[in-house]
Chain A
């Protein structure tokens, strides 16, 4: 314990130098802006700003990159809340209740709680990381293909189950997403599937194209329905930016519950922020006393995924820093950059480059505080976006959607996919099919199938491998429960009604 404190104190002496303070702030602001643009997430942000960090010393370079990384996490949900267009996968869950809040004229509190929840989630995660980084990383190693498969089954079934109104429609949406994920070269056998001879499809359909298409374009198409009336319908009064005591009270527990969940999911290589925020949202909805408020602007439905998502982004750094195994596309780029700076991420990083390792951990505290300070006043500026007449705003969203899509793969093929998914998204909304299961399935579907087959190769074809570890069994039970839970609740309510009417 004393060791940790001494190290941390040393870390702060690195992180609090004026240069590093400015760098983390600049990186954070930059990341926030990048995160708000559709399609440009932390990975692109860091990749394009990489050359600037070459001339810095390793600690400063990593601190800047981390700033961009969290900044993008904070920023991603801004556009979810304001215009129903998530900046990246992890921000999807923020549209569920964040956008309805903005429509009710509560954009200010929504932006504020998302910043606060992100902040608390981030800080909780950093504290856990400070104390337990190495044991947590060791725990993550226990996840083999079988455990990953069970985890993804759990996340998917929980998401399909929240569309309780019609489970079949939720399933159809999920199946569509899984179908999208089968496009491209099959990793286990190397054969192309559903690519129809198009080279660009061999790497698969980028799930960000699906998200941008279904949300940004879908939103524009939906706007067309109300094009003649909408200008009068929009709220132009934004009210206060801060949250009320009552709103805060609703959010405290969800935030505190979601942060550890998000952190743990984030630590697992390959799972990531999207899954963390979806699982947190589903948890809260199932635990809620009035689940029917969810999806209609429940503030805790926004706070929970935001806390989880930020905690996950901290968690994702652990395998990279302690094991040298990057857990996500973004951390992989960061690791590449570290190696170019002459560092070797891994357990020895903490011994050989203590200034870097502890400087970075300390800068996470500082970075989260700075980002909260940047983002809360920024909320006041950002709500003004809603004052832009929709007939100007929506074409601009359209333009940004195309630019964002192009920067993903520099390919025109993605434009056609974007238009296609825009239409799919619009018709799914019209036909009242939930879109969240599709998106989550499109993101995790590929690795779910691969994990399943990897596990079977390892076990020489025996399905027993999925029930041979405690972790896997627990996850599968949770998956079954999450499907059954809504029905059990219904049944109990019916019983209650019956006995009440007797």
Chain B
């Protein structure tokens, strides 16, 4: 599937969902009650039109491109795994950030990322860099700049 088709389809879906949501927005208590709704509704509808436009031009061109398989596919798979793991670590990080405090959670998070992309073999560097980073950021922000980190 060509990238334009995906974009077109995605734009249509977003357009529809957003427009529907827009009509459920609360009404304004003073002035025109619909005033908070016009702009979002217009955005959603234009988005839908753009998506449809893109889809139609692509379909007119015909979907003939079916290339790039195999090698790139495997590479893609690895990228997607890495991204998924990073996002997962990020979510865990967000969850523990205020519970464990900045230094511990950041060291854990960075450590995890380092092991993910720098490999297990270089574990000394991984641990040292994560510790030094969290420690120094905490010191600079918390102590020198007075920005309080948990």
A and B in direct contact, judged by CB atoms within 8 A: yes
Is B6 an interface residue, CB under 8 A from the partner? yes
The answer to whether B146 touches A395, judged by C-beta atoms less than 8 angstroms apart, is: no
User: Within 8 Å CB of B83, what residues of A?
Assistant: 221, 224, 423, 426
Docked complex: B75-110 residues within 8 A CB-CB of A = 75, 78-79, 82-83, 86-87, 90-91, 93-94, 97-98, 106, 109-110
- In the complex where A179-B18, A182-B43, A402-B93 touch, is A189 in contact with B129 (Cβ < 8 A)? no
User: Within 8 Å CB of B54, what residues of A?
Assistant: 168-169, 172
Stretch at the interface among A120-128, A244-252, A282-290, A411-419: A411-419
A449 nearest in chain B by CB position: B39
**Residues of A with Cβ closer than 8 Å to B?**
44, 48-49, 51, 166, 168-169, 171-172, 175-176, 178-179, 182, 186, 188-194, 220-221, 224-225, 227, 391-392, 394-396, 398-400, 402-403, 406-407, 410, 412, 415-416, 418-419, 422-423, 426, 430-433, 449, 452-453, 457
CA distance A418 to B97 in the complex (A): 14
The answer to whether B97 touches A189, judged by C-beta atoms less than 8 angstroms apart, is: no
The 9 closest A-B pairs by CB, nearest first: A189-B28, A415-B94, A224-B82, A191-B26, A391-B118, A431-B3, A395-B113, A186-B36, A175-B47
Question: What would 19 more interface pairs be, CB under 8 Å, given A190-B29, A406-B149, A422-B87?
Answer: A48-B147, A168-B53, A169-B7, A175-B46, A179-B18, A186-B36, A188-B35, A194-B40, A224-B78, A225-B75, A225-B79, A227-B78, A396-B129, A398-B113, A402-B90, A410-B148, A412-B97, A415-B94, A432-B3
B11 nearest in chain A by CB position: A172
CA distance A396 to B133 in the complex (A): 8
Q: Which of A178, A189, A224 contacts B30 (CB 8 A)?
A: A189
Is B31 an interface residue, CB under 8 A from the partner? yes
Majority SS of interface residues in chain B? helix
Q: Which of B4, B28, B91, B141 contacts A191 (CB 8 A)?
A: B28
Q: Which of A168, A190, A399 contacts B106 (CB 8 A)?
A: A399
- In the complex where A191-B25, A224-B117, A396-B133 touch, is A419 in contact with B87 (Cβ < 8 A)? yes
Majority SS of interface residues in chain A? helix
**What is the distance, in angstroms, from B12's C-beta to the closest C-beta of chain A?**
10
Is B16 an interface residue, CB under 8 A from the partner? no
CA distance A423 to B98 in the complex (A): 24
User: Within 8 Å CB of A431, what residues of B?
Assistant: 3, 6-7
**What is the distance, in angstroms, from A483's C-beta to the closest C-beta of chain B?**
14
CA distance A175 to B49 in the complex (A): 11
CA distance A449 to B90 in the complex (A): 34
User: Within 8 Å CB of B79, what residues of A?
Assistant: 221, 224-225, 227
